[in-house]
Amino acid sequence: MVGTILPVVHGGSSRKHLGPVVAHAVGAVSGGVVVGASLSLAGRWTQHSFWGAGLPSVGLPILGAMALLFAADEAGLLRVPHPQLHRQVSQRRRRHAPPTVTALRYGVELGAGLTTFVPVTTFYVLLTAVFFVGDPVVGAGVMAGFAGARAAPVAAIAIGSPDMATATRAGDSLLGWEPLVHLVNALVLAGASAYLLTSSASNP
Amino acid sequence: MQSVRTTVLPSRLRRILLLAVAGLGGSAVALGTSEGAGGGLTPVAVVLATIAGFSALWSP
């Protein structure tokens, strides 16, 4: 992802790329807010329509079991299907639009997270958690956090690099950490799973 | 001098143990907090959002 985004958000000089970096961040947070609010609203409607306010008895066990399954997947202990769309902003649009507009589009798509690659299964558990939260404001805030965490490292690399070659090298140097990233996700999911299942059991 | 032989756990077993430790930590936090079950979902979602967002840097 970094290899594709950096040329978009990095205008080639330290002054030029601030516009695209800001546009990317604004687009990302906007995309996250829309998805988070919509999903939580759908969750609220579903919970009120089908099982009342029974989050502890229904939502938490489902989410806990899901987190456990994906924790094992992230740890490489079993393989679970990863449904995802691999769509990206089209090359044609990328070529013809100004860098700021392209960076904004990238930001919206990546912040929403639904139409691009899903690198870690934590994302599926996150979407389900946002659904069960059932509060559009909280859902929007949580997904804005996701989008912000997704956009911030790209912005940091772009702003901190004097030229494109340095930015690309910084991006490439991250690749070796991928196995550790999956393990950290597995541990976070395992902790979250136990937390949710214990909460559910102790607050029936 | 007697050499000390260290046991290296198989990678798979070590990962299972790490998951178990993380699980124990999660359960301990749940038992130690007084929040109701519904109220505890938001902090979990925030943690998941942060880690998932940052990890997306490794997206192809």
pLDDT, one tens digit per residue, over A43-84 is 989 887 776 655 656 788 999 999 999 999 999 999 988 888
Q: Are the Cβ atoms of B19 and A198 closer than 8 angstroms?
A: no
Which of B11, B18, B19, B21 to probe by mutation at the A interface, max A CB count within 10 Å?
Answer: B19
Instruction: Give the nearest partner residue to A1 out of B20, B51, B57, using CB atoms.
Output: B57
Q: What gap in Å lies between CA A44 and CA A130, rounded to an integer?
A: 10
pTM of the shown model: 0.86
pLDDT at residue A183 greater than cutoff 70:
yes
Give the pLDDT of residue A52: 65
Q: What gap in Å lies between CA A114 and CA A127, rounded to an integer?
A: 10
Min distance B43 CA to chain A CA atoms (Å): 9
Q: Which of A8-22, A112-126, A162-176, B24-38 has the highest mean pLDDT?
A: A112-126
Q: Are the Cβ atoms of B49 and A198 closer than 8 angstroms?
A: no
Give the pLDDT of residue B9: 46
pLDDT at residue A20 greater than cutoff 70:
yes
Give the pLDDT of residue A69: 97
Give the pLDDT of residue A172: 79
Window 10-49 of B: residues touching A by CB (8 A cutoff) are: 12, 15-16, 18-20, 22-27, 29-31, 36-38, 40-42, 44-49
Residues in chain B: 60
Q: What gap in Å lies between CA A185 and CA A75, rounded to an integer?
A: 8
Q: Are the Cβ atoms of A75 and B15 closer than 8 angstroms?
A: yes
CB atoms within 10 A of CB A137: 12
